[in-house]
């Protein structure tokens, strides 16, 4: 099948299943994903927004990271990773099938729920895990639509599924009841982790994580992506503190009167003839302005003209006191 620029991923999966083809349906966009089919039946699905089989098994503690890595090293080239885990006794066939089913339906929601996305089918492509289960493509499509409907009934906002999770600073009510799963999400949500990050961190399915986040959004416990403060370009201006600064303008000093004769006005206001007005004009506050100093780096020495003399050395040393200190130190040896 030729690559398709933009199409409904679910419709294209139906066409692939009807033709009983083998390969991978690659879905672009955000978050996107891939659905692997073997002779028209779905065998696996993956998405950046959903933890895979390896993340679920290792994060939950069912498999050690070293065991999973060894299976990848030995079985990736021959697409026998799942079979090796069963043959070596690390998992039973039932455990592996349940884990693959959960990861497949979980990732299929993110890969197939978009109404339109860049889609391409790669004929003959296989997944390194191997064909552990065979699922009817129509059943996968029905489950995806059911999950979309359930989430919209909880809280119809799909941006929650991919946006970073940030708890509200103040609960909407005096008393709030949360489940254990919601409590873990609130504790680990830091405004940077996405639902996919939280699912992988806690070893949970991505769809189950989104369900809890939708419920918390409906209860007002997390900030909505479109109303977060970080998305607003406005800057908050703090009020100017009263009485904390001096007025900008200063009155010129009064001119003294001697013997009834008033001294003439300063030359800054009336420059003499044949002089440069720009050089003669001087601000009335220039006389009271302190000299500007160049910014120094931390630890740098002061200029010579500003450095003070070193403190005088005390000349009157008490010889008797020094002898007493020496005697006391000798006694401690």
The parent domain of residue 61 ranges over 4-154
Which pLDDT belongs to residue 15?
Answer: 93
| 14 & 131 share domain | yes
Q: Is the pLDDT of residue 14 over 70?
A: yes
Compute the residue count for the chain. 333
Whether 52 is in a domain gets the answer yes
- Same domain (yes/no): 129, 9: yes
The answer to whether position 313 is within a domain reads no
Answer whether residue 259 shows pLDDT above 80.
no
Same-domain pairing of 140 and 73: yes
pLDDT tens per residue, range 35-48: 999 999 999 999 98
The lowest-confidence range among 100-109, 164-173, 316-325 is 316-325
In the listed set 154, 170, 186, which residue is the last one of a domain according to the structure?
154
Question: Do 222 and 122 have their domain in common?
Answer: no
Last residue of a domain, one of 127, 154, 181: 154
62: CB partners within 8 A, 6+ apart:
56, 91, 95
pLDDT digits (tens, 9 = 90+) for 139-186: 999 999 999 999 999 999 988 988 999 999 888 888 889 999 999 999
pLDDT digits (tens, 9 = 90+) for 262-294: 444 444 444 554 555 444 444 444 444 545 545
Q: What distance in Å separates the CA atoms of residue 121 and residue 293, rounded to the nearest whole number?
A: 69
- Cβ neighbours of residue 288 closer than 8 Å, sequence gap 6 or more: 250
pTM score: 0.63
Pick the range with the lowest mean pLDDT from 5-14, 66-75, 138-147, 215-224: 5-14
pLDDT tens digits, 193-244: 999 899 888 888 889 999 999 999 999 999 998 754 444 443 333 333 333 3
């Amino acid at each position: 099948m030729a690559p398709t620029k933009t199409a409904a991923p679910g419709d294209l999966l139906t066409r692939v299943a009807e033709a009983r083809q083998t390969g991978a349906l690659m879905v672009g966009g955000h978050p996107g994903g891939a659905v692997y089919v073997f002779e028209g039946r779905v065998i696996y699905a993956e998405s950046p927004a959903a933890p895979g089989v390896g993340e679920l098994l290792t994060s939950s503690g069912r498999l050690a990271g070293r065991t999973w890595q060894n299976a990848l090293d030995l079985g990736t080239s021959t697409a026998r990773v799942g079979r090796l885990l069963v043959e070596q006794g690390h998992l039973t066939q039932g455990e592996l099938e349940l884990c693959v089913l959960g990861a497949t339906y979980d990732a299929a929601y993110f890969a197939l729920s978009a109404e339109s996305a860049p889609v391409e089918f790669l004929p003959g492509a296989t997944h390194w895990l191997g064909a552990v289960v065979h699922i009817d493509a129509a059943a996968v499509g029905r489950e995806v639509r059911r999950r979309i409907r359930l989430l919209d009934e909880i809280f119809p906002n799909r941006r929650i599924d991919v946006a970073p999770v940030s708890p509200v600073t103040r609960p909407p009510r005096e008393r709030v009841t949360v489940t254990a799963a919601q409590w873990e999400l609130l504790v680990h949500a830091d405004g940077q982790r996405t639902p996919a990050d939280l699912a992988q961190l806690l070893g949970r399915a991505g769809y189950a994580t989104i369900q809890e986040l939708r419920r918390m959004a409906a209860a007002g416990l997390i900030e909505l992506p479109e109303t977060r403060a970080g998305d607003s370009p406005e800057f908050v201006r703090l009020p100017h503190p009263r009485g904390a600064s001096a007025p900008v303008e200063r009155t010129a000093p009064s001119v003294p009167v001697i013997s009834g004769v008033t001294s003439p006005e300063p030359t800054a206001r009336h420059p003499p003839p044949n002089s440069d007005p720009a050089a003669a004009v001087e601000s009335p506050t220039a006389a009271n302005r302190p000299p500007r100093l160049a910014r120094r780096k931390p630890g740098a020495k002061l200029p010579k003209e500003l450095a003070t003399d070193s403190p005088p050395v005390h000349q009157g040393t008490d010889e008797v006191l020094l002898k007493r200190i020496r005697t006391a130190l000798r006694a401690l040896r």
